[in-house]
């Protein structure tokens, strides 16, 4: 009798798992491609940058997505110097609330990730510059707005911390004329800035082809 009860519990729970699995599988496996504009703010230089970039996303689970991105950001430093940043990296997105890709739905998420970056700070009107390669970690929040079942607009705010030798630019005035001091720090440190991305993404295909197989 005990065996029969145990078997019944197992059978019922397996049915539940199967249903849950099917529900999960409806969202996972999709490949998305997108482009974005980025605003960089609150950096140590006190200057705001503007950038262009792109990303692709691979959704590994219904509630977990991965975002692989590249950004090119330029920043004017007080009209006397300029900063160029290249970011290439990845983030993991988690959907704690709604996760369905349905027209009109808002899907909030949290994200965290890592990137490699190259920074070059140059003085205007000269060929003087200092540059660095470093690594960074980032974390933040965002939301997708599903314009259609395949297209979304995403707004993300994340804080990025660069780990390595920072290149600093300090603007000063001498005899009423603006000038800049650019130096590469001798010690490794942590330097950060806030990144706000607005992106448009399209769901292109199912990488695992699971839905077609199920049909």
Partner 1 sequence: MRTIISTVLVLLFTTPILAQYERQQYIHKHLMRADASIVSGYMYKSGIKNVHVNGNLEYYMDNRISFRGDANYLLGSSGISDSMGFLHNHSVMLGTVFHIQTKGHFDPYFILQPGIAYTQSYKQRYFDDPDELGGRTNYPGVLSPLGTAGLGFNYYFQRFAHLFMEARYVYGQHLAEAPYPLSLEEVRITFGLGFNAFIIKEKKKPE
Work out how close the CB of 125 gets to partner 1 at its nearest, in angstroms, rounded to a whole number. 4
Are 149 and 102 in contact, with CB atoms under 8 Å apart?
yes
Are 63 and 93 in contact, with CB atoms under 8 Å apart?
no
Residue 196 is a binding residue for partner 1 (CB under 8 A): no
Q: Which is nearer to partner 1, 62 or 82 (CB)?
A: 82
Half-sphere exposure of 55 (CA within 13 A, CB side): 27
- Left (φ > 0), alpha (ψ -120 to 50) or beta: where does 25 sit? alpha
Residues 58-97: x/- map of binding to partner 1 (CB under 8 A)? --------------xxxxx--xx-x-x-------------
Interface with partner 1 in residues 152-191 (CB under 8 A) = 153
Residue 37 is a binding residue for partner 1 (CB under 8 A): yes
Work out how close the CB of 214 gets to partner 1 at its nearest, in angstroms, rounded to a whole number. 21
Q: Which residues contact residue 16 at a Cβ distance below 8 angstroms, ignoring those fewer than 6 apart?
A: none
Residue 122 is a binding residue for partner 1 (CB under 8 A): yes
| C-alpha distances in Å from residue 20, one per residue of 6, 25, 99 | 21, 9, 14
Residue 200 is a binding residue for partner 1 (CB under 8 A): yes
Q: H/E element holding 210?
A: helix 210-214
Residue 151 is a binding residue for partner 1 (CB under 8 A): yes
* Site of interaction with partner 1 (CB under 8 A): 35-38, 50-52, 72-76, 79-80, 82, 84, 122, 124-127, 147-148, 150-151, 153, 200, 202
């Amino acid at each position: 009798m005990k065996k029969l009860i145990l078997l019944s519990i197992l059978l019922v729970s397996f049915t539940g798992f199967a249903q849950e699995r099917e529900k999960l599988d409806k969202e996972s496996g999709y490949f998305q491609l997108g482009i974005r504009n980025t605003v960089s703010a609150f950096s140590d230089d006190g200057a705001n940058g503007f950038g262009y970039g792109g990303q692709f996303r691979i959704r590994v689970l219904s509630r977990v997505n991965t975002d692989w991105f590249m950004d090119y950001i330029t920043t004017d430093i007080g009209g006397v110097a300029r900063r160029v940043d290249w970011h290439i990296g990845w983030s993991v997105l988690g959907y704690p609330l709604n996760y369905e890709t349905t027209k009109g739905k808002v899907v909030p998420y949290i994200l965290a990730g890592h990137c490699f970056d190259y920074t070059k700070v140059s003085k205007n009107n000269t060929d003087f510059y200092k540059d660095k390669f470093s690594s960074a970690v980032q974390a933040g929040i965002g939301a997708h707005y599903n314009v259609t079942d395949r297209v979304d607009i995403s707004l993300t705010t994340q804080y990025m911390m660069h780990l390595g030798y920072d290149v600093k630019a300090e603007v000063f005035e001498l005899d009423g004329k603006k000038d800049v001091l650019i130096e590469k720090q001798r010690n490794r440190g942590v330097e950060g800035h806030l990144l706000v991305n607005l992106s448009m993404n399209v769901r292109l295909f199912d990488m695992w082809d699971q839905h077609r197989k199920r049909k």
